[in-house]
Every structure is written in structure tokens, then in C-alpha cells.
A and B are shown apart, each in its own frame.
Chain A
């Protein structure tokens, strides 16, 4: 009898502990958000977005950092998305169960857990030095692409695995080839989940700092990479160049890191303001991913 009551009380106590543990992280998150917001909001003016970094904190802005981040994301996405989806398709639909496949799988699992700073060293050794891309946007984009590749591969595979085998059977039974089955049935059916994975991977890339610092991304950049498209007054009126890809760059998280590590008070305010922008960016991406996943789960019920 007594034992019962004790058990029930223990059960209740544990439940409260469980809720507390679950909420703990979220509480910290709220504190973080509030703290950053109160600290940084005063700097969130138009000037902050349209100014270059400066030695005077109240004049400094994130223009070059923001533009650099956008460039990086474009390169990272262009490289990592097709390669990641391709690898995912191969491993899930084509690969036979053999030792090579097994090896590739372990390899990807390991790569997903390799610290990001190691990718920075890889980028420094291969892209910056060996391929002589220097500390360019291209070197940074390639480095981040390799970093997010395992994430995209894993989520592509998971998305494909969620499609029932009967869909594949139906397609093959009609005489479709493997690629036709992938292209016309499996990819459209898993697109939502794949997109979710890609957005999450890209949101991770947006906030990555360590690998970019390691490849030597400069922190003081008072100019923008050359625009790919410029309009001219004379024929042919439009000038297209990718020279900007080889320009040095800075990115939002690097700029934040730079400001955090300076002792003057003004810079930590700038850091907080930069963090608000960065958090806004990553959280927006995450929100889109969650909504996308939710909608697709609703739409397709096998």
C-alpha cells in the first residue's frame, strides 16, 4: 500500500522534473533572445545595413558582411544541392549492398560529425593554397558546400526512404527505367522532405564561422565583390562577369565574431545587432523548413 503511494509520488516528481528539463533549454533561448534584442535594437537602423565596417563602432555596419553571406550561400547551394541530392539518390536507389556502399555510408556518417573547423583546414589546404583560389568567395563557398554535403545527402536518403516500395514497383511494372522512376515519381514525391533538409542545411551554413575564419576570410572588408551584372550605357548594355567570385569577402557571423572580440562597449552593441539579423535569418529559414515539412506530411498520405 505504502509502496504504491511512494511510487505514484515519485512518478509525479519525475514528470515535473521532465517538464522542467524540457523547458530549460527553451527558457535559456528566451533569455538569450531578450538579452540580445535589448542590447542590439538601438543599432538596428538603416545605416547599420548600408554601412561598411569601421573603426568607430557607431559608424560600422554590416553591408559587406550581408552581401558576402548572400554570395556564399549562392555558391554553397549551387555546389552542394545537386551533388548532395545526386549522392543521396545513388546510395538509396542505385547502390547495391556491397562493401563499397557500406564504406561510403560509414564515411558520410563520419563526415557529418567532423568538426566544422576541420573543413576549414581542408579548404585552406585545397582551395586556398593548392587551387590558388586565395581567400575568395569561391574558396569559402566550396568549403561550406563540403561541410553541408553530408547533411543534404542524409536528408535526401531519408526522404526517398519514406516513399513506399509499391510506388517503385508500380513504375517499374509499367516499363519505366530506373532514372525515369526517380525523375518522375520519387523526386516529385519526396521534394517537400528534400527541400526541408536543404533549407536546414543552408541555415546551418549561414551561421558557420569557424571554417571561414580558418580559410582566412578577412574581417575588415570595406568594399563589395564585383557585381555579376552591370548595366552599361552603350551596346551591349549589359555586362556579365563572375570576377567577383575571386574577390575576398567577409560574412555576417565573421563580422559578429570580430565585434564580440573587441573590448569597447560600442562593438558589443554592434555584435548584438548583427546577431539579431543573423538569428532572424536562420530562424526564418528554420520556420520555412518546419512549415514545409508539416504541409507535405499533411498532403501525402499513402
Chain B
């Protein structure tokens, strides 16, 4: 699915010839020390990096038999199908309801009934429904950090994407919320292809089916999560996993 991906920030190479096949309906974890390019990598998969001035990319990301970096790709439509959740929760300064309805509204769906259904089902999928169902008009910024992050997941699910990119979704949440989100990832796997970046080794081991280890912009090792954690082939992977550097 991903071939020879190189990425640059103003001529500084941050990703070097990455090749990964991401399987559908599974969780792929990307691990590695900070600054290894894992965030850049995941942000390249829905072209959100295009927003950063000076960002340049070569190589191919094949999604549905098509390179997403081709000239004739409808980027906005692509991002709708490949949902993303960011490191820090970033709800819009609006009500919970409007946060989730937004993705549908911009696609021209404004019927109240459809929106109501989408809001309810996405919040349920994100395991937030029970906590907020009585005040959907509450400003999203008043939620706790963990709730905000689950709201962001619900928001990403509302547009019915088939891929979900999670960029360190638990880096700013408390342990209980983290557990909830991990549980959620496990649930969502049945219907979505999930890529998650994390710096938390245990988390990667818990939630993912396959894992890739990045270092200094290179993909050092990629394989089944079990294999990576139990029998790493590369010395560097082993060192990192056993906590010799981080």
C-alpha cells in the first residue's frame, strides 16, 4: 500500500524510502523514538501535511488502487474517507452535536433526522453517548480531556470513513480515558482499517496486529506485533523495546 515514501520539510529529509503494506480491518501501530518521523508518516496518509508550508513528498501512497498524491485526486473527499484523530484533542468551539454534525453538513447533509442518527451512532461507537446524551448542546470545550478525545474520534467516525488514523491519541489523556480509547480501538477494528502512532510500547503491544518501528526517518522493522515484541530481528528494535533508549 505504501511505496518508497520520502518526505521533506524544506529540503530536510524526514522520511526515507518507507515501504509498508497496511492490512484492512486490522490495527497497525507505528512506534519509535520521538523525532523519528512517525507523526510525519501518519500525517502523510491523508495529506494533512499539505497544510504545512515547505512540506514536500515523493513516492506513492496507494489507497483503493490509486496513488493519493496523484494530481487529479480530490483531496477533500480523500480526507473524508480517511479520518484522523490528533495528538491533542481539538474539538471545535461549538456544541457536542455540532462538532459531530459538521462532517456531514459540509457534505451537504442537513436533514435533522439523518444528523440526529449520525450523532447518536457515532457517539455510541466512541463510547461517549451515555456520558453526554442529555446535553448534546453543551459546548465541547467544557468536556474533560479524555471526553474531548473520544468526541474527536466520534467526529471522525461520523463521516463513515474506512480508514482511521490515530496520531498518539492518548498522549494527553488520563489512564482511565486511555483504557476506554484502547477498548474502543479494539471494537472499531472490525469495521475500520486503523493506523495508530504511539510512543507507548505497552499500548502498541495491546492494541495492534502489526507494528512498524521507525528510527531517524527509516522503517527499521515491520511485521506482526507479536514477532516485533517477542523476537525482534533488528538490534535497534530490541534496544528500543527493552527500553535501552527512548
Contacts and interface: CB of A to CB of B under 8 A. Distances in A.
Contacts of A258: none
Interface in A185-199: 185, 188-189
A84 B91 CA distance: 29
Contacts of B48: 169, 172-173
B176 interface: no
A192 B71 CA distance: 39
B239 interface: no
Contacts of B93: 167, 189, 300, 302
B141 A166 contact: no
A173 B105 contact: no
B11 to A, nearest CB: 16
A141 B86 CA distance: 47
Q: How large is the interface on B (under 10, 10 to 19, 20 to 34, 35 or more residues)?
A: 20 to 34
Given A166-B86, A170-B86, 5 more contacts: A172-B51, A174-B103, A174-B155, A175-B78, A177-B106
A79 B105 CA distance: 31
A174 B80 contact: yes
A265 interface: no
A164 B106 contact: no
A298 interface: no
A184 interface: yes
Interface residues of A, number: 23
Contact of B159 (A97, A174, A188): A174
Contacts of A301: 141
A268 to B, nearest CB: 52
A174 B152 contact: no
B3 interface: no
A170 B76 contact: no
B105 A175 contact: no
Contacts of B159: 174-175
A175 B102 contact: no
B90 A175 contact: no
A174 B106 contact: yes
Given A97-B53, A175-B79, A175-B159, A167 B90 contact: yes
Given A173-B79, A174-B155, A166 B90 contact: yes
A168 interface: yes
B54 to A, nearest CB: 9
B30 to A, nearest CB: 17
A240 to B, nearest CB: 34
Nearest to A166: B90
21 contacts: A96-B53, A166-B90, A169-B90, A170-B90, A170-B92, A170-B155, A171-B92, A173-B79, A173-B84, A173-B86, A174-B83, A175-B80, A175-B106, A175-B107, A175-B159, A176-B76, A184-B102, A188-B94, A189-B93, A300-B141, A301-B141
A169 B165 CA distance: 13
